[in-house]
């Protein structure tokens, strides 16, 4: 009923939004002689705020800027190269000479935590100049028909293995970057591939703000996930997708509830940002208003998660910490990260991260005792929070150069696999 009520509210407000847009056009029209008067500007600003607060935010576009490679401006275009029911693997195909360079393949695993993969726009923008970049583009669960089956942590892990195997078809082990949430399933995937001696296992794994062990310096999200039993989450935040969405009858954790949680964690900051936006609209500060809209167009665009994936994440990652305590099972098979011996590991944390506390990502190193010191590194970035770990000036100037060097240092050791040769020969 909650999801249906949400959809019906959107539908009921639709005529009001149409009227508001019409009124806004009249108030701001250059033909309106009163448009520059304070009452008109204030009314237009209020209407603009109403439209923004009540509209539905769709999946954002990537909108990448051209990058300079060997003195030339190069466009990078997202292209679907592999598709599964709940995820499309995108490759950012570069034009001109850059498309022929033998840059390291990098699989960037976007978080499946409510926002779309475009949240990593800044990450991708920086990486594409020197890497052959692939990104997991997770699909909104309400857009996946029930006939396509479920999607849980086991499926997520197997998707990551399948993507690595796809990228390794040329015999080169890819580098992998897991941003936030996918750190645990990617560690499980890397462990399974190491245990199987899979030739497609990553050459290096970079974990960025990932909740490997949530007992280390727990933050607000950790507390929210552990202060109530799993039964509470099943009863209060899991709903059924209503008709006429493609995922009709699928049980999900809806994006609008996740967004409410995001907003509640930093309510004062969001309130102040919107108040300042209102003032900027009245003043006619178009540049500041545009920057606000760009941020919130991304922030407000959310997707649904399957119920099974969400509940397993709450239980296994936050409540029971199964990977950190050596109790994680994948389809009945015990996961032993000590099997990882030749997958270089880099962990990145933000000093002011208020989502994944300091030490939670670095804990990954304790799980791989058989990994040589030469294949591991850790970096704590000063003066950045969670978002700054993978976006912003310090990401571009201090974090990304470290990742770039780490990937290249260990990518050289990725050699052609005899097993892959036999597959190709067959």
| Higher-scoring residue by pLDDT: 98, 231 | 231
When pLDDT is cut at 50, 70 and 90, the band that residue 418 belongs to is very low
Domain count within the chain: 1
Alpha-carbon span 131 to 116, nearest angstrom: 22
- Has residue 300 been placed in a domain? no
| Higher-scoring residue by pLDDT: 99, 58 | 58
Is the model's pLDDT at 124 over the cut of 50? yes
- Has residue 76 been placed in a domain? yes
Alpha-carbon span 123 to 143, nearest angstrom: 26
The beta-carbon contacts of 75-78 under 8 Å, at least 24 apart in sequence, are 76/124, 76/128, 76/133, 78/135, 78/137
CA–chain centroid gap for 207, Å, is 13
Q: Whose structure tokens read 């270089």?
A: 344
- Has residue 368 been placed in a domain? yes
Residues 59 and 32: beta-carbon distance below 8 Å: no
Alpha-carbon span 140 to 305, nearest angstrom: 7
DSSP letter assigned to residue 60: P
The strand pairing partners of 347, in sequence order, are 207, 378
52-61, 93-102, 360-369 — most confident range: 360-369
Instruction: Take residue 273 and report the two structure tokens written for it.
Output: 């940002």
Alpha-carbon span 190 to 340, nearest angstrom: 7
Residues 345 and 211: beta-carbon distance below 8 Å: no
When pLDDT is cut at 50, 70 and 90, the band that residue 221 belongs to is confident
Q: What is the mean pLDDT of the chain?
A: 91
Exposed / middle / buried, residue 387 (Cβ in 10 Å: 0-12, 13-18, 19+): middle
| Cβ-based neighbours of 270, under 8 Å, separated by 6 or more | 263
- Has residue 352 been placed in a domain? yes
Q: How far is CA 423 from CA 164, 197, 199, 403, 417, in A?
A: 16, 15, 12, 32, 10
Instruction: Take residue 241 and report the two structure tokens written for it.
Output: 């997708």
* Confidence at residue 412, expressed as pLDDT on a 0 to 100 scale: 62
* Confidence at residue 24, expressed as pLDDT on a 0 to 100 scale: 92
| Higher-scoring residue by pLDDT: 343, 96 | 343
Convert the pLDDT of each residue in 298-339 to its tens digit.
888 999 999 999 999 999 999 999 999 999 999 999 999 999
CB atoms within 10 A of CB 264: 11
Mapping DSSP onto H, E and C, the string for 228-255 reads CCHHHHHHHCCEECCCCCCCCCCEEECH
- Has residue 130 been placed in a domain? yes
Is the model's pLDDT at 424 over the cut of 80? no
* Confidence at residue 98, expressed as pLDDT on a 0 to 100 scale: 61
The strand pairing partners of 179, in sequence order, are 208
- Has residue 184 been placed in a domain? yes
Helix ranges restricted to H, 237-316 = 255-265, 267-283, 286-299, 307-312
Query: Which CATH number does the domain housing residue 352 bear?
Result: 3.40.50.1820
- Has residue 21 been placed in a domain? no
- Has residue 58 been placed in a domain? no
When pLDDT is cut at 50, 70 and 90, the band that residue 183 belongs to is very high
Is the model's pLDDT at 425 over the cut of 50? no
The DSSP result for 346-375, as a single string, is EEEEETT-SSS-TTTTGGGGGG-TTS-GGG
Exposed / middle / buried, residue 302 (Cβ in 10 Å: 0-12, 13-18, 19+): buried
Alpha-carbon span 77 to 96, nearest angstrom: 12
Domain with 387 in it: 67-226+306-425
Task: Indicate the SS3 state at residue 334.
Answer: strand
Alpha-carbon span 243 to 249, nearest angstrom: 8
Is the model's pLDDT at 55 over the cut of 90? no
Is the model's pLDDT at 147 over the cut of 50? yes
**Whole-prediction pTM value?**
0.91
| Higher-scoring residue by pLDDT: 97, 93 | 93
């Amino acid at each position: 009923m909650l999801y249906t009520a949400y959809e019906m509210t959107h539908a009921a407000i639709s005529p009001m939004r149409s009227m508001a847009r019409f009124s806004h056009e009249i108030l701001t029209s250059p033909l309106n002689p009163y448009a520059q008067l304070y009452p008109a500007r204030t009314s237009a600003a209020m209407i603009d705020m109403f439209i923004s607060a009540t509209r539905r935010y769709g999946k954002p576009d990537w909108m990448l800027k051209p990058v300079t490679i060997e003195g030339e401006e190069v466009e990078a275009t997202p292209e679907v190269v592999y598709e599964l029911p709940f995820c499309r693997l995108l490759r950012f195909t570069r034009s001109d000479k850059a498309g022929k360079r033998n840059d390291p393949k990098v699989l960037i695993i976007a978080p499946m935590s409510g926002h779309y993969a475009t949240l990593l726009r800044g990450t991708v923008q920086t990486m594409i100049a020197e890497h052959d970049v692939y990104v997991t583009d997770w699909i909104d669960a309400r857009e996946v028909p029930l006939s396509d089956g479920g999607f849980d942590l086991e499926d997520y892990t197997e998707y990551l293995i399948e993507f690595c195997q796809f990228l390794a078809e040329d015999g080169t082990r890819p580098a992998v970057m897991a941003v936030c949430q996918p750190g645990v399933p990617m560690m499980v995937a890397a462990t399974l591939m190491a245990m199987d001696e899979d030739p497609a296992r990553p050459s290096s794994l970079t974990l960025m703000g990932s909740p490997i062990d949530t007992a280390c310096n727990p933050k607000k999200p950790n507390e929210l996930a552990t202060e109530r039993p799993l039964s509470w989450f099943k009863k209060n935040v899991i709903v059924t997708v209503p008709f006429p969405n493609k995922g009709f009858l699928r049980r999900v954790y809806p994006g609008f509830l996740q967004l409410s949680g995001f907003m509640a964690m930093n309510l004062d900051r969001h309130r102040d940002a919107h108040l300042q936006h209102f003032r900027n609209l009245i003043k006619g500060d178009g540049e500041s208003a545009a920057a606000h809209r760009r941020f919130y167009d991304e922030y407000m665009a959310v997707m649904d998660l399957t119920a099974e994936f969400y509940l397993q994440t709450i239980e296994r990652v936050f409540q029971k910490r199964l990977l950190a305590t050596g109790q994680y099972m994948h389809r009945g098979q015990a996961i032993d990260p000590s099997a990882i011996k030749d997958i270089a590991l880099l962990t990145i944390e933000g000093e002011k991260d208020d989502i994944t506390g300091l030490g939670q990502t670095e804990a990954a190193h304790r799980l791989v005792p058989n990994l040589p010191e030469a294949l591991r590194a850790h970096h704590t970035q000063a003066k950045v929070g969670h978002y700054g770990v993978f976006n912003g000036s310090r990401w571009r100037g201090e974090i990304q150069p470290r990742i770039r060097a780490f990937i290249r240092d260990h990518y050289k050791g990725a050699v052609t696999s005899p097993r892959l040769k036999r597959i190709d020969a067959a």
